[in-house]
Amino acid sequence: FPSHDRIREDEHKLIELTENKSGLLLFISHSDCDGLLTYKECKQVYDDIKDLVVDTEDSRFREFHKIFAEALKHCYKKRINLYFN
């Protein structure tokens, strides 16, 4: 199990990452069970993740970020909800 100090450090990183980023906070705290982001929520999330740099050697994560951002952008521009499971 992670130590309490490690949990606190992770909480601080999350708070710092989501500060002034309501869309990113919405996405991180969104229930997987709901399976829906409205087109307005897609816009909020897109605005916060479009310029994020995926700093990893694994190109799959960079590709996923690109595809996900484009899906969010498509949904808000076309005013359609994004469904997932």
pLDDT at 54: 78
CA 6 distance to own-chain centroid: 22
Residue-level pLDDT, tens digit, the chain, 85 residues? 555 566 577 666 666 666 667 787 777 777 766 788 899 999 999 998 888 877 778 888 888 889 999 999 999 999 999 998 7
- Torsion of Cα atoms, 18 then 24 then 26 then 29, to 10°: -70
Query: For strand 82-83 and strand 36-37, is the pairing parallel, antiparallel, or unpaired?
Result: antiparallel
pLDDT at 56: 78
pLDDT at 52: 81
